[in-house]
A and B are shown apart, each in its own frame.
Chain A
Amino acid sequence: MIIAKPAAINGGLVNEILAIIEASGLKIIGLKAEVLDVHHLEKDLHKEKDSSKKKLLEEAARIPSVLIAVEGSTAVAVGKKIKEKYDWKVHVSASEEVGKYEITRFFKENELFDYNKVGDLLEKMDLREKDFKGNFR
């Protein structure tokens, strides 16, 4: 599981993170933009006495994150590379186990999808099939 945090959305980096995942041959099985509870921000909010600053913090807490559920044997390794590159702007699962837990924690069952990417289809397709017309369905 990979989360593009608000800083990634604000930096216009969502496309880069998705492209790295897709180019690595991994499959995105779930994706959604959601405002996450930001505990440290909330703490700051309570402490802040200056009302205009408080207002700005409240606004910042409304920025969504992009949650990405990723499937594939190299998911954790690619996640680590993404973490190296984008650092605090992303969260990535540290291990396969953690990844599985986080995906079930953040995604409902009907938000996760099992589908074929083009590569999967080529493997499954019988190319000797006589009526093969280049239709990849």
Chain B
Amino acid sequence: MIEKTLLLVKPDGVQRGLTGEIIKRFENVGLKIVGMKMVWIDEEFGAKHYSDVKARRGEKVFNAVLGLITMGPVVAIVLEGVDSVEVVRKICGPTEPKAALPGTIRGDFAHVSYAYSDTVDEAIRNVVHASGTKEEARNEIALWFKDDELHAYPSVQDIHILHYKAAHIKRMKPTK
């Protein structure tokens, strides 16, 4: 029920100064930031992150997404909350910004289509990445964060949004 998921503010989002605006969406709904850091990954790391893309979408797409994710620093965030994988995906909107509704991150901060990004030989600049499934979230969090970079802590959200009781909070243990 309560789970963690990985969100990346991709280099295009960082360079456009959207990090604060993006985090706002998640803080507002009461998701808890349990890990956060700025990192500039190399291609080797990027290949691990997109390990399934080559088989699923082909070499060309793989190289394109790799080029985009390594072009500058990203802000990696681990968000914790009820069904957070699904909720965070919902807040991000669909992969193609053209199809993303207003109110979603991609709908509000991007508009381009797949067809357009093909014409500039680039992966689609859709501002964020979010884990697709619970399993993917577990793998991605393990890839991006060391254990001591994840923090289990009590917050006002626990009480006001999750309706935790004090005893609940006392029992909280670091979990992955």
A contact residues vs B (CB 8 Å cutoff): 6, 9-23, 25, 28-35, 55-56, 59-60, 62-64, 66, 111, 113, 115-118, 121, 133-135, 137
Contacts and interface: CB of A to CB of B under 8 A. Distances in A.
A16 B123 CA distance: 30
Contacts of A22: 17-21
A133 B120 contact: yes
Contacts of B17: 22-23, 25, 117-118
B72 interface: yes
B151 A137 contact: no
Given A15-B24, A111-B38, A115-B73, A59 B19 contact: no
Nearest to A55: B170
Given A19-B21, A118-B15, A134-B120, A59 B37 contact: no
Interface string B135-148: 00000000000000
Interface of B: 11, 14-24, 27-28, 30, 33, 35-38, 40, 71-73, 75, 120, 122, 149, 151-157, 166, 169-170, 172
Contacts of A10: 155-156
A45 B24 CA distance: 33
Given A17-B20, A59-B172, A116-B15, 4 more contacts: A15-B27, A117-B16, A118-B15, A121-B15
A62 B153 contact: yes
Contacts of B36: 31-33, 66
A18 B77 CA distance: 14
20 contacts: A6-B153, A11-B156, A14-B23, A14-B27, A15-B20, A15-B23, A16-B24, A22-B18, A25-B17, A28-B14, A30-B38, A32-B36, A56-B170, A62-B152, A63-B151, A64-B153, A66-B33, A113-B72, A115-B15, A118-B15
Q: Is the interface of A mostly helix, strand, loop or mixed?
A: mixed
B19 A63 contact: no
A82 to B, nearest CB: 12
Nearest to A33: B36
The 3 closest A-B pairs by CB, nearest first: A19-B20, A18-B20, A22-B17
